[in-house]
Amino acid sequence: MEFMHIGVVTDKVQQNETYAEDIKVYITDPEESPFKFEYLRFEKDSPLPEIMQKNPHVAFKVDALEPYLKDNEVIVEPFNVGENLKIAFIVKDGLVMELMEEC
């Protein structure tokens, strides 16, 4: 497991944010932040779970998603991001976590 970034919910426009139309959220690149912050600005009608829209998340790269999905509350089922990455969101001990698997 490798730490990747911290997702920070904001209501302020961020420099260099991109818009993910399908999930209705503006996102920044955590590689551009010295603290690996990924800022997320949700539109009111975003389909993502409320817990994600109101709380930070911590992202980790894992070898395989499945072991984590079966033992934790899955709030966003696995989906592909580009051709080489699959991600899912879980809640573990009250904390939202993003899990990333290279494919």
- Full domain range(s) for residue 82: 2-102
Distance between CA atoms of 66 and 45, rounded to whole angstroms?
A: 29
Q: What is the pLDDT of residues 44-92, one digit of tens each?
A: 999 999 999 999 999 999 999 999 999 899 999 999 988 899 999 999 9
Per the structure, how many domains does the chain have? 1
Can you give the CATH number for the domain in which 82 is found? 3.10.180.10
pTM of the model: 0.91
Distance between CA atoms of 38 and 22, rounded to whole angstroms?
A: 18
